[in-house]
Amino acid sequence: MSSALPAAEPAANWSAPGEGERRWFLGTLAIVRVPGEATDGRLAVLEFLFPRGASPPLHTHPQDESYVVLEGWLTVQAGPDRFELGPGGVAVVP
């Protein structure tokens, strides 16, 4: 017989416009809208305010990345594929 307690149900998380911890990352302002700790590490939501022409270096990591462009344009490279996202554009990169 196990005495382990059942896992708690995940809680909803949100942030209002303008909320979130602000961090500078590679010369770009990143706003942590929902931190990974708030979702037991399932996901995090960050808002990046890239200056025109700015780009993080090409990189890989084990988790997926999703992009939603609110304004301006973003070039996304995933392996050999490269595509442009404009306002309202969405991409998911495994």
Q: Are 26 and 59 in contact (CB under 8 A)?
A: no
The answer to the question of residue 4 being in a domain is no
The answer to the question of residue 35 being in a domain is yes
The answer to the question of residue 1 being in a domain is no
Range of the domain at 87: 58-94
Question: Are residues 70 and 40 part of one domain?
Answer: no
Round to whole Å and give the CA distance between 20 and 11: 18
Question: Are residues 39 and 67 part of one domain?
Answer: no
Confidence of residue 59 (pLDDT cuts 50, 70, 90): confident
Domain count, the chain: 2
The answer to the question of residue 13 being in a domain is no
The answer to the question of residue 88 being in a domain is yes
Q: Residues 26-51: pLDDT tens digits?
A: 889 999 999 999 999 899 999 999 98
The answer to the question of residue 49 being in a domain is yes
Which of the two residues, 1 and 62, has the higher pLDDT score?
Answer: 62
Question: Are residues 66 and 39 part of one domain?
Answer: no
Round to whole Å and give the CA distance between 53 and 34: 26
Cα 27 → chain centroid: 17
The answer to the question of residue 5 being in a domain is no
